[in-house]
Amino acid sequence: MVISKKVFLLFLIAFLTLSGCAGFKTSNSKEAETNGEGKVVVNFWSFWGSEIRRPVIEKIVEDFNKSQDKIEVKHTFVPWGDIWTKELAAIAAGNPPDVVINDINGTALRGMKNQAMNLSGFLDKDDISERFYPELWKATLYEDESYGIPFNTDTRVLFYNKDAFKEAGLDPEKPPTTWAELEEYAAKLDKKNGDTYETMGFYPLFGVESDVWMLNANGKNFFDVDGNPNIHNKENVETLNWINSWKDKYGDNTINAFKSQIDSQQGNPFFNGKLGMFVNTPTFYTQIRDYAPDLNFGVAKLPERTEGSGNTSWGGGFVAEIPEGSKNSDEAWEFIKYLTDVEAQEYWAVKNFDNVANIEASEKAAQNKDMSEKDQLVYQMAVDNMEHTLLTPVPTYAPDFMGLIKPEIDSILLGKKSAEQGLKDGQSAVERLIEKNKK
């Protein structure tokens, strides 16, 4: 009898283990989830968990919850490295969150793959597309239908040290407007001690990568409007040669030494005048504010390659999407509308000093009383720069084309291939990829 009791116990354990496994099955009920008070619960995932961003997004969620009595949004912070793989798994399991913040550059791709919900049904009823910068809106479209609503964005601007300009005999109110002026001013700002540079005027690959300059050179993406790759062209070849000429001028040792200081943030050579000009996002200003509050600096549009070629800059951003299979999509839509409306967007913009997608909110933020005069100045520049800013959403027919071009660009910048040859090879590799994918 003793033994059979033990056997029974073991069976019990096995049974419990098995029933535990059954708990992983997802319920496929289509009923909306409600909380105790009969409000519909909208699950909202974002990767904003930092001590700066988290309180801001949670305040927005709280305000929304208070503004009406039908919907309760629950915000969940999911770390950057996990959020989208987790989302994909949740969609596959049929139990996704209702609103997820995702990368704007992949929205069309996720639309095509049925991961993000087609929002045209909602947009037919209330069209909010006019709220946003057209370039951002365009990036959310797949076959002319939107799959995500733009939330925030960014751009690239030129920061320059006004005191250093004065010292070098340059007019601190006249930042460089062309690549030629950039070179000229940089040469004046350089300070050499023997063979080593103690002060660098400018280096194009600090803060941004070479593709930003290729975009700036001709105002064109790697793909034309018909979706044909346009990687090997005169301007791009010229751009990479131009970057290499900077590389030759300063040499690897100087560049590496400055680069590691930039990476360490607090020690950024732009803060102590060792770097005269620096390209970065407007949000970089918050670092100046924190680490070098006395720095006398200015902000300007990116210079153009030649006069008239355009001050094109590059941006990205994030959208709010409703994953396919969300059970509360109507309520999710209400929340997204609130999230991207003027009030929430202005709050986000001011508190995070971040570019937002909503045009009216952007302009209001630049005048906001909570911002200092300097804050407003930089923010206004960020807003003005949006008209020059292009996005580079991944083409749905060749989403991983960058994996083919990047090594070619690396080879060119390392001097292992000529710009002409490398871009030609990149172009034909991407053409092959597209052909393969269209089969």
Partner 1 sequence: MSKKLFTNKQKEGLQGYIFILPWLVGFVVFTAGPLLFSFGASFSDYNVTSQMDFVGLDNYKTLLTDDQLFWTSLYNTFYFVLFSVPLTTLGAILLSALLNQDVPGMRFFRTIYYLPAILSGVGVYLLWMQLLEPGTGMVNTVLSWVGISGPNWLYDPNWTKPSLILMKLWSVGGSMLLYLASMQGVSKSLYEAAEMDGASRWKQFIHITIPMITPVIFFDIVTSLIGGFQIFQEAYVMSGNGDGGPVNSMLFYNLYMWKKAFETFDMGYAMAMSWILFIIVFIITIFNLKMAPRWVHYEGEEK
SS3 130: helix
407 binds partner 1 (CB under 8 A): yes
Contact residue for partner 1 among 392, 411, 418, 421 (CB under 8 A): 411
Residues 255-294 that bind partner 1 (CB under 8 A): 256-261, 263
Identity of residue 196: T
Piece of 126-134, 155-163, 379-387, 394-402 that binds partner 1 (CB under 8 A): 394-402
Q: Which is nearer to partner 1, 129 or 396 (CB)?
A: 396
- Element (H or E) spanning 191, and its range? strand 191-193
SS3 285: helix
- Element (H or E) spanning 92, and its range? helix 83-92
Which x/- pattern, by CB under 8 A, does the window 104-143 give for partner 1?
-----x--xxxx----------------------------
Q: Which is nearer to partner 1, 10 or 52 (CB)?
A: 10
Residues 65-94 that bind partner 1 (CB under 8 A): 84-85, 88, 91-92
Contact residue for partner 1 among 2, 3, 70, 438 (CB under 8 A): 3
Which class for 294: exposed (0-12), middle (13-18), buried (19 or more C-beta within 10 A)? Answer: exposed
**Residue 194 CB, nearest approach to partner 1 (Å):** 17
Which x/- pattern, by CB under 8 A, does the window 294-333 give for partner 1?
------------------------------x---------
Cβ density class 94-121: b for 16+ within 10 Å, e for less? ebbbbbbbbbbbbbbbbbebebbbbbee
Q: Which is nearer to partner 1, 125 or 439 (CB)?
A: 439
CA distance 171 to 272: 20
**Residue 21 CB, nearest approach to partner 1 (Å):** 6
Residues 226-255 that bind partner 1 (CB under 8 A): 252-253
**Residue 324 CB, nearest approach to partner 1 (Å):** 6
- Residue reference for tokens 């040499």: 251
Piece of 5-13, 150-158, 278-286, 287-295 that binds partner 1 (CB under 8 A): 5-13
63 binds partner 1 (CB under 8 A): no
User: What does each C-alpha distance from 220 to 211, 314, 413 come to in angstroms?
Assistant: 11, 11, 21
**Residue 397 CB, nearest approach to partner 1 (Å):** 11
- First CA to last CA distance, the chain: 70
Mention every residue, 6+ apart, whose C-beta is less than 8 A from residue 110. 102, 116, 147, 148, 321
- Partners of 45 in the β-ladder: 76, 100
Q: Which is nearer to partner 1, 127 or 263 (CB)?
A: 263
Q: Which is nearer to partner 1, 166 or 416 (CB)?
A: 416
187 binds partner 1 (CB under 8 A): no
- Element (H or E) spanning 44, and its range? strand 40-46
How many other C-beta atoms lie within 10 A of the C-beta of residue 315? 23
Contact 132, 150 (CB under 8 A): yes
- Which two tokens mark 60? 């927005």
Please give the residue ranges that form the binding site for partner 1 (CB under 8 A).
1, 3, 6-7, 10-11, 13-14, 17-18, 21, 84-85, 88, 91-92, 109, 112-115, 252-253, 256-261, 263, 324, 399-400, 402-404, 406-407, 410-411, 414, 416, 429, 432, 436
